[in-house]
Amino acid sequence: MLLDSNILIYAAEPGYDAIRAFIANGQPLVSVISKIEVLGYHRLTSEQRQRLERLFVVLPILPVTDGVIDWAVALRQKRKMSLGDALIAGTALSFGLTLVTANIRDYAWIEGFELLNPLAQ
């Protein structure tokens, strides 16, 4: 399973024990794009940054490969979407992973794409 940036943010916040347990019981991976999105947010407090940096130490990080780029390009040619979302979706598609996200609506239009929202469970 590939964790979307929003799931990482929830996992680092107090009160989201269920998300942390969900992640701990799976085999989570993250895209390098999520690392950039999450740690690059300009309003992170030092405490939030520390929690998130600890997550990125323990979670395997997938790179942007040619296959990821090909998927991202194809998705953006079909429909307007942010570059970050296209690269994260492209990562999940390229590596054959379910995307775990709280933003199902952003990706629901992609045919044959497995999505899971742990917040809805």
Domain ranges of the chain: 2-120
The amino acid that residue 103 corresponds to is N
CB-based contact 94:68 (threshold 8 Å): yes
Kindly list the distances between the CA atom of residue 104 and the CA atoms of 4, 101, 114, in Å, as whole numbers in the listed order. 10, 6, 10
Kindly report the CATH number that applies to the domain delimited by 2-120.
Answer: 3.40.50.1010
pLDDT by position in tens, the chain (length 121):
999 999 999 988 888 899 989 988 989 999 999 999 999 988 888 988 998 998 899 999 999 999 999 999 999 999 999 999 999 999 999 999 999 999 999 999 999 899 999 998 7
Under DSSP, the state recorded for 119 is G
The CA distance from 89 to 115, in Å, is 10
What tokens does 116 get?
């899971």
